[in-house]
Structure 1
Amino acid sequence: MKTRLLTLFTLAVLGSGVTKAQSGDCVTTAALAYDDAKAKNWESAYPALQKVRKDCPDYSLATYQYLEQAIEAQLKTEEEGDKKELINELIEVWEQRLELYPAKTKIGKVYSDIAQLKYDNGLGSKEELYKAYDKAYQEDKDNFTSPKGLYAYFDLVVDMHDEGDRDLEEVFNQYDVVMEKIEEEENKAAERLAPLMEKQENNEELTAKEKTSIRNAEINLENYAMVKNALNGKLGQRADCDNLIPLYNKDFESKKTDVNWLKNANARLSNKDCTEDPLFVQVSEALYKLEPSAKAAFSLGQTAEASGNGAKALKYYNEAAELETNKSDKARIYYRIAGNYKDKGQFGQARSFYNKALEAKPSLGSAYLQIANMYAKSANSCGTDTFSKRAVYWLAADYASRAARVDPSISSNANQAAASYKGLAPQKSDIFQSSYKPGQSISLGCWIGQSVKVPNL
């Protein structure tokens, strides 16, 4: 009781100094409402919060924060048929908060939350729901980050296509928009995770905040990986070569001087590896002639590679990498170049380009996995004795583990690879019988040029 009275007194004092003078009723009602809300006593808090919102709408941002929680708590227990009034009220609360506290409210999040609430509860046609998500994306795409919302944003277009309300080209365009946004968010999460992983690997002490950051980044990466898989599953056979080639073949003659059309056709044929059809060569050459862009150069590299001309392919790939400005696409090009060098056994060159790919796209776990594979293949060549040769597998395992953490979509394969490499590395008994001690660094020679610490097994 004393605590409650103290709360009332404190809020009354603070309330007296706000820019707009508030009535004593607002201060008292808000104090009681906030007190109940903090205790999650929503039954008592809800009507009081409604009163504060009605009588003193600009009293405090807390009114809207607590009222949102109060309504969401009721929605969880309400019968399906009785939810509509609460849903509409929650939308009004979000919109009013945005109006009164724009500096403390993210437009993209509010609009995408409104769209998601309607989507989850079947309120509105597919067209109306799509426009609700599109509003969030167009007005503030930076803060439209919900994995669930981004999937719905694409899902609705596919469903409308299947019902005859969207053409296939629009489906592809929407896929590109959503996939680009997801990869952007993946990269942000991976960039936050990278220095913290390094601290962990060096056995440095992490703060509670850093541990939370790691956990949140890994959860986000996992969620975005699931959405990417769902997007590709939803797109399915609609985007295979059997559909793409006829779609673009019929319009090529009339569109062969249309740069935007050629870019779209080129990108989709390239992404789906429809590179052996003559149409791909025609589109790539036409685009390169009109605008020697990164994508055109990359496609000509694919064509040269398919015909067995590796040197010509690398020439075009390097040109594409220099021209490309989109980080994810630049990473894709570097990854392709790295693969060419890896296939030739030029592991040092390959690693250099895999690292360039990772600089452009930190969430590209497959690049870490490829480096791990090259280290493992070089174990017998990069040590001075049996123990140090086998120690290479520790380094390979570290890189495979990194792959799993930054890209959950390949975590199963990456973790299996890491476990396999650890099994090939020296075991506890081997360390005990050797001259090496836990924590000691072992320099690895040849092209690797790195050191690895003996773990404390």
Structure 2
Amino acid sequence: MMIKKSLIVFLFIASVLTAKAQEASKCEEAIAAFETVVKSGNYDEALGGLKDLVKECPKADEKLYMLAEVAYVYKIESAQDKKSRQEFIDGLFALYDNYNKNFPAAKNRNAIKKAQLQYDQKLESEDKIFEAFDRAFTQQSHDFTGYKELEAYYSLYLKRFESGKANISTADFMSKFGDVSAQVIYAKNKILAKKSALLVKKETEPLTEEEKEFLASAKNDLDALTAVGENVDRLSSKHFRCEGLEEFYTAKFEKNKENADWLEALVNVMFLNRCYNSAVLEKGAHTLYELRPSVQSAFNMANIALRKNNTQEAVMYFDKAAQMEKNPEERADINYKIAGVFRNTDKAKAKEYTFKVMKDNPKDARPYIFLAEMYSSVTRECDVTEFERKALLWLAIDTAKKAEGVDPKYKRTVDSMVQGYEKRLPTADEMKEAGKRKGDEIKYGCWINETVTLPKIK
């Protein structure tokens, strides 16, 4: 039934074009009918009528070329033999040429797509494919944002550098590495900005199908770009050390100090290469935070402060990151980090932040494990007797068991903790010597601020 319907639509396209192709309204009707055929998945019928449609209505609507591209890409990917695949590739390349010819001012990615297809299908020499990518990267940097093309382009560049045949200097290599790293960040931020805008729009009005598809694929695209950025660094890091990175980014800093994507790349690269003591890392992180305050830029500042043992400043930036973080689970992770910072310096604060973790992520077992360990390791800081210190182990046991209730996969951890605590519990003789018995309460002040009811000791 669907095939019959699409065939009727296809015949309608032909009749429309025959009637009066140059009339704008007729072209609009024909392209609308063509869209119906493409969206029905009948790509053979669509491509069968494409030649006449492009011939008669070449400048009517960019949508014609975008729809035809969908059909060609599908046919290339599903082609059963090399000959038919090449025919569809040739058709797609011709489509791109017609698109560029008839819409020269259009902001499309045809040159990038063509280079990527040549790379995927090994249609040209690596040198020619690299040149195509390089032109696109230079001339269309704002559109050079796909993870596939970024990875392919840098892979070809790195191969040229490592072979020595292209006579690429170390300085030029560092420059290209910096440019691609910054481009990855730019691509990620472009997706994040659009995603954020669509989520806001979603609250007040319905999204188009295209917008829904974008949101559905955003996470995977972001993850892929992150992987590309890390891979670029991993493959390149053997060619430079922290000193080289420091020198490179210092030399480029003034020129790029207002380019947030470049600064973010600087920070990422220095962290990935463990250049923690770098002056340009600290300078770049601070400038980035001032230029574009975000969860990540605040988190970077906090980690730098931690490495300098400046816990007060670290907590300040962690707090700022938590305040900006809208995802409760992500915010819980930040607050858990803060609890860890305070663990040995301010246990009351540490406990306060574990409660924030529990509130934001009730399924997180870590804060219960954290608190249990704190209760079990009290020494003399809260002015408790030896019996009271041991009695706290009952609170540690109860708290640890809550972790298992929240997340069963912690059962083995909890069982091990409880077994260790039970060996250190007060004995019946110790309870008698302390003048205590079953049902008595011990109220703890200090950072603990809890009450333990003594059980019967066997």
Same fold (TM over 0.5): yes
- 2:151 maps to amino acid: Y
Aligned positions of 1:46-57 closer than 5 A: 46-57=47-58
- 1:91 maps to amino acid: F
Which residue matches 2:230? 229
> How has the CA–CA distance of structure 1 residues 215 and 420 changed in structure 2, closer, same or farther, with 3 Å as cutoff?
farther
Residues of 2 paired with 1:32 and 1:319: CA distance? 54
Residue 68 (1) aligns with residue 14 (2): no
Which residue matches 2:189? 187
Indicate the percent of aligned positions where both proteins have the same amino acid.
Answer: 18
Which residue matches 2:348? 381
- 1:321 maps to amino acid: H
Residue 130 (1) aligns with residue 76 (2): no
Residues of 1 paired with 2:162 and 2:296: CA distance? 33
**Mapped contact 1:335–1:357 kept (Cα < 8 A):** no
**Mapped contact 1:375–1:392 kept (Cα < 8 A):** no
Which of 83, 89, 111 is 1:87 aligned to? 89
The count of aligned residue pairs is 353
User: Secondary structure of 2:337's match?
Assistant: helix
Cα deviation 1:287-315 (Å, max 9, x = unaligned): xxxxxxxxxxx34xx8xxxxxxxxxxxxx
- If you compute each CA radius of gyration, which structure gives the higher value, 1 or 2? 2
Deviation of the 1:78 alpha carbon: 4.0
Cα deviation 1:252-311 (Å, max 9, x = unaligned): 9xx9xx9569999xx8996746799xxx9xxxxxxxxxxxxxxxxx34xx8xxxxxxxxx
Considering Cα pairs closer than 8 Å and 6+ residues apart, tell me whether 1 or 2 has the greater RCO.
1
Which residue matches 1:58? 59
Cα deviation 1:220-276 (Å, max 9, x = unaligned): 2211111122212321412246xx76x99xxx9xx9xx9569999xx8996746799
Which residue matches 1:340? 305
- Structure 1 unmatched ranges of 5 or more: 199-203, 281-297, 303-316, 402-417, 432-457
**Mapped contact 1:187–1:361 kept (Cα < 8 A):** no
**Mapped contact 2:50–2:68 kept (Cα < 8 A):** yes
Which residue matches 1:145? 145
**Mapped contact 1:32–1:48 kept (Cα < 8 A):** no
Residue 160 (1) aligns with residue 176 (2): no
**Mapped contact 1:321–1:334 kept (Cα < 8 A):** no
- 1:372 maps to amino acid: Y
Cα deviation 1:312-360 (Å, max 9, x = unaligned): xxxxx5798359987599976982465325764634x324334667999
**Mapped contact 2:335–2:357 kept (Cα < 8 A):** no
User: Once superposed, what is the RMSD of the aligned Cα atoms?
Assistant: 5.5
TM-score for both structures, normalised by structure 2: 0.57
Aligned positions of 1:293-304 closer than 5 A: 298-299=279-280
Deviation of the 1:5 alpha carbon: 6.5
> How has the CA–CA distance of structure 1 residues 375 and 23 changed in structure 2, closer, same or farther, with 3 Å as cutoff?
closer
User: Secondary structure of 1:143's match?
Assistant: coil
Residues of 1 paired with 2:6 and 2:72: CA distance? 26
Which residue matches 2:379? none
Residue 120 (1) aligns with residue 120 (2): yes
Residues of 2 paired with 1:208 and 1:27: CA distance? 24
> How has the CA–CA distance of structure 1 residues 235 and 345 changed in structure 2, closer, same or farther, with 3 Å as cutoff?
closer
Aligned positions of 1:272-351 closer than 5 A: 272=273, 298-299=279-280, 317=282, 321=286, 335-336=300-301, 339-340=304-305, 344=309, 346-347=311-312, 349-351=313-315
Residues of 2 paired with 1:106 and 1:136: CA distance? 12
Residues of 1 paired with 2:283 and 2:129: CA distance? 43
Which residue matches 2:240? 239
> How has the CA–CA distance of structure 1 residues 229 and 7 changed in structure 2, closer, same or farther, with 3 Å as cutoff?
same
Deviation of the 1:155 alpha carbon: 0.8
Which of 77, 84, 95 is 2:79 aligned to? 77
Which of 363, 366, 378 is 1:420 aligned to? 366
Residue 21 (1) aligns with residue 59 (2): no
